[in-house]
Structure 1
């Protein structure tokens, strides 16, 4: 079927967040013709754009770097690799300095020098869009990819739809970079409702593998009346029951588990940021203005007034699992296909645990840069060529009527991944039950078809969420220990014999196999 818009490029980037924009910019700087397609508006959509974020920016001296690498090494279950941590720290240092040179308004420290350990999402992504556009990248906003195109030589482009006009698009490219973010399962966490695992689905359909999908059950504290998940601020919080008594253990390192157990028992939990020193409260407001907006609208002073909280699932957005990459070019096992940002596994730099920002922001900009370079070099080496490309969608995308049960599938997946007692507190029995139900759901999905004239975007989201959940739980049932954010109630301790990655593969059948972790040089 002829598409309304047909383009040819050296590199196609799917996703317009920090990873995608750094990838597009880098590929363009290497002389490649680049097209970037975004599900939303490049520069304003995704998890980074509406928020402030810390960045893993560390001066290049041995003492500082060693301390930085060890910071989350144990929390992540000793799965991070020294070579990758060094690579990302170096690239992030370079990229943050480049942002300063481009005019990003970093605050000044006491010595009058730019303080480069954080970024404000709106300013950051506005600048990235401007620089990417200036580099000659063609941007298609509100234009999600629906499926990859490939032939016997590998991936060679994608097709999609423009949401505002209904036009279809096709881009043939020498290389494709998936930078479409992670999957938060439509949990309403701020900036995450465009992050539904679309890139995972497309990669799996092309034959890519995944790594660390058991580390994809991240939950973040949020007021019940807000979508903002800035858990770092709750280090200043006291937690209370409705009667005003303290929730013991809620403020500890295992506090989220304590809170989750109480909420799952139907007990309301409240917080107040009463431990924040008076002198830093103005700074907290400046650094995360969107955190305070919902409170201000309701006339709540979060430093003095108690407010009810919940835990919102952020899945792989703040988890560490994702598409497996094979080397520093960020290529996957599939020829012509690259991955970056939350779409790619972040185990390499933080193992099985990461918080908000920091490592995540560093990984986005550095992996995007590396992918842009790798994809550009590959495309220029192989060319676009005249190829007989076919769509890879696991569910046929057709013209005409379709009765695809999108809403039903979304609800069914959320019933498995959102409850704390299924996804946070895992057991063999619960995981097996979820896997069986999700497998049945997948079989039903595979018997359907998606109409390009219907809401194909939402339909593909439901397919992507289903596949993501299946990889998560299949990896989780195979890791019979507690490591990183993966918690097994039936195996509550870390097991030295399971010090390996879990690689998951497949669509209809999910297989899981261990992969050794390279020796961590920082322990020598």
Structure 2
């Protein structure tokens, strides 16, 4: 393809990417949006509902900030939470005036509202077209590009509908909104969430934060054998109000974090957990009927959502959602959401609110950054790029298989210990050098190889970060350190490709006091 120039390039076409592109376009920037699949029809939001906080200013909002901080293991930031609540409340009003239909009916008394995800994304795509944003579907980005000064200046990739056709887009600023990483667990809509944006950001100098909080699981109908028999089609997760039962038929208290932890521990120990088909809501009941036993019980299993519902991701360093790499901005699930959710997973309206707010801020920040740049110079990749070699030595499926072996099981990610983490680190780190030259290919094979490299990179960052936090906090559970440690009321930054590093964040954190913990591997 002929190289394209734009003021702002947005990588990713989910809610965060769409809001970023709209915000940049409304500020007068020329915007190009590239998506791995089809903007408006892919990703987790297209396979369910999107929830938003809707809390007006006043006592109720102050109370929500306090509750969010408490539930996040003291890692959140009240100013960030308040800003997200304010931005979302204003935008929800705008969406209502634009004709979006909310459930429940929008009112100041409803602190949480929902939209149908597919319709929401379809409307956002129409808004993008009306705003003059150029949308390139089926154009996965493989690498970010930098100029002679190390400033991010665009991206390059391939067009999967024409596999041998590559593309290059130069831009004054780039917003990465590629979503999180679910490690190909089969969660609905996460087939595109393979950690590409995290790897691309790290290659140009972006830092990561909270990668130990990457172990969010949901309960879904079906055991492993049933899933293999039925096929790989996505299965919706159970709602929080569904009662679950053990093998004896006794109800298991699944309400709140403690109840869910008991259920996950039971599954990790090999016990069976069931739901009753007649008690499941639609559309879960229709899907669950495929797995129902003769007595109406439906076996359940745990499915890893990874960083999609976790809080780890690319570190942002300002309210414009800039990263530590100049010229690169980030939005949505690809970012670290510790400032808003702390160490807890995405529940309620957190995810929808963050995607909307961070998208608006990142798009505005990118447009302002691009406006201040001189004429774009020559763009080049920052590093050779893992998974972009000639290929032939390693099958990407083997890489994905090894990654899943060390991430998907509950005993690997939900319940952790120094022993299991060190074992995973040794296996995953040992494979990384081969990704530079032996993993690659051409056309569509090049995309699969790059995704495998990204999955491996994200798995390494999560394991190293989990080992560096010897405590239990939020969703991070260490069986050898079952309680919280006040010394670790701080965030852990991570990064590195050939050599993974982890260090504490914050002006009060003195890394020299804990060298053995934070550099154990």
TM-score above 0.5? yes
- The residue aligned with 1:127 is 123
- Partners of 1:130 and 1:383 in 2: how far apart? 32
TM-score (norm 2): 0.90
Question: 1:19 and 2:16 equivalent?
Answer: yes
- Partners of 2:328 and 2:255 in 1: how far apart? 43
Q: CA offsets per residue over residues 176-210 of structure 1, 9 Å max, x none? A: 11100000000000011110000000001111110
Question: 1:459 and 2:454 equivalent?
Answer: no
Q: Is the 8 A contact 1:177 1:338 kept in 2?
A: yes
Change (3 A) 1:387 1:498: same
Shift of 1:505: 1.9
Structure 2 SS opposite 1:214:
coil
Among 231, 235, 242, the alignment partner of 2:241 is: 235
- The residue aligned with 1:522 is none
- Partners of 2:104 and 2:310 in 1: how far apart? 32
Question: 1:187 and 2:185 equivalent?
Answer: yes
Change (3 A) 1:115 1:355: closer
Change (3 A) 1:357 1:24: farther
- Partners of 1:364 and 1:112 in 2: how far apart? 21
- The residue aligned with 2:333 is 342
Shift of 1:82: 0.7
Q: Is the 8 A contact 2:158 2:443 kept in 1?
A: no
Question: 1:253 and 2:250 equivalent?
Answer: no
Q: Is the 8 A contact 1:401 1:454 kept in 2?
A: no
Q: Is the 8 A contact 1:431 1:476 kept in 2?
A: yes
Change (3 A) 1:256 1:112: closer
Q: Is the 8 A contact 1:40 1:143 kept in 2?
A: yes
Gapped regions of structure 2 (runs ≥ 5): 228-232, 510-521
Question: 1:42 and 2:39 equivalent?
Answer: yes
Shift of 1:105: 1.8
Q: CA offsets per residue over residues 230-287 of structure 1, 9 Å max, x none? A: 44x243313221xx4326555563233333333333332211377x7xxxx9xx64xx
Q: CA offsets per residue over residues 145-164 of structure 1, 9 Å max, x none? A: 01111123211011111111
Structure 1 SS opposite 2:68:
coil
- Partners of 1:110 and 1:90 in 2: how far apart? 16
Question: 1:423 and 2:416 equivalent?
Answer: no
- Partners of 1:503 and 1:333 in 2: how far apart? 12
Please list, as runs of the form range in 1=range in 2, the aligned pairs for 1:424-443 lying within 5 A after superposition.
424-443=414-433
Shift of 1:391: 5.4
- Partners of 2:435 and 2:106 in 1: how far apart? 58
TM-score (norm 1): 0.89
Shift of 1:403: 3.7
Structure 2 SS opposite 1:96:
helix
Structure 2 SS opposite 1:55:
strand
- The residue aligned with 2:27 is 30
- The residue aligned with 2:517 is none
- The residue aligned with 2:467 is 477
Shift of 1:320: 0.2
- The residue aligned with 1:382 is 373
Structure 2 SS opposite 1:409:
helix
Please list, as runs of the form range in 1=range in 2, the aligned pairs for 1:68-217 lying within 5 A after superposition.
68-107=64-103, 109=105, 117-153=113-149, 154-166=151-163, 167-217=165-215
Structure 2 SS opposite 1:219:
strand
Shift of 1:430: 1.0
Change (3 A) 1:251 1:114: closer
- Partners of 1:116 and 1:5 in 2: how far apart? 46
Structure 1 SS opposite 2:406:
helix
Change (3 A) 1:357 1:5: farther
- Partners of 2:323 and 2:386 in 1: how far apart? 23
Structure 2 SS opposite 1:328:
coil
- Partners of 2:285 and 2:13 in 1: how far apart? 27
Give the total of aligned pairs: 498
Please list, as runs of the form range in 1=range in 2, the aligned pairs for 1:192-341 lying within 5 A after superposition.
192-224=190-222, 227-231=234-238, 233-241=239-247, 244-246=248-250, 248-251=252-255, 253-272=257-276, 285=282, 290-295=283-288, 298=290, 305-341=296-332
- Partners of 1:331 and 1:126 in 2: how far apart? 27
Structure 1 SS opposite 2:372:
helix
Q: Is the 8 A contact 2:15 2:355 kept in 1?
A: yes
Shift of 1:46: 0.5
- Computed over aligned residues only, the root mean square deviation of the Cα atoms, in angstroms, reads 2.6
Q: Is the 8 A contact 1:81 1:518 kept in 2?
A: no
Q: Is the 8 A contact 2:144 2:156 kept in 1?
A: yes
Structure 1 SS opposite 2:3:
strand
Q: Is the 8 A contact 2:56 2:108 kept in 1?
A: no
- Partners of 1:496 and 1:113 in 2: how far apart? 37
Structure 2 SS opposite 1:253:
helix
